């Protein structure tokens, strides 16, 4: 119960952050992917390139999941009893 409340509060209060920073974060991930491709080419930095690549892939997956399943995460983690209090956020179609 406390875990669900914590998840709900985290996502509810950071809604603006997720909405405003999705595209810039994806841009940084793209830069990280390019950097990892460059690092993997060198034998002395192959491990570092692999770590950067793995981090970028995991981060891209996480922010994509949050972006497209935000309302479902809020509905699942909402522990309030009234269904009229559930907030629906429309998915933007410009992505």
CA atoms within 13 A on the CB side of 56: 18
Residue 36 lies in a domain: yes
Count CA atoms within 13 Å of residue 68 on its CB side.
8
DSSP 8-state class, residue 93:
S
pTM check: above 0.85: no
Report d(CA 15, CA 66) in Å as an integer. 10
Tell me the per-residue pLDDT of 34-91, one tens digit each, with 9 for 90 and over.
Answer: 999 999 999 999 999 999 999 999 999 998 888 888 888 888 887 776 666 556 666 6
Give me the domain span that covers residue 59.
2-79
Q: Is residue 91 part of a domain?
A: no
Assess if residue 88 is contained within a domain.
no
Please state the domain count of the chain: 1
């Amino acid at each position: 119960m406390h875990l669900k409340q914590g998840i709900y509060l985290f996502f509810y209060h950071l809604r603006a952050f997720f909405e405003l920073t999705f595209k810039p974060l994806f841009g940084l991930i793209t830069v990280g992917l390019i950097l990892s491709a460059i690092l993997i080419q060198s034998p002395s930095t192959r491990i570092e390139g692999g770590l950067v690549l793995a981090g970028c892939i995991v981060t891209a997956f996480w922010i994509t999941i949050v972006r497209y399943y935000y309302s479902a995460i809020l509905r699942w983690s909402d522990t309030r009893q009234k269904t009229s209090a559930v907030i629906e956020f429309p998915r933007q179609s410009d992505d």
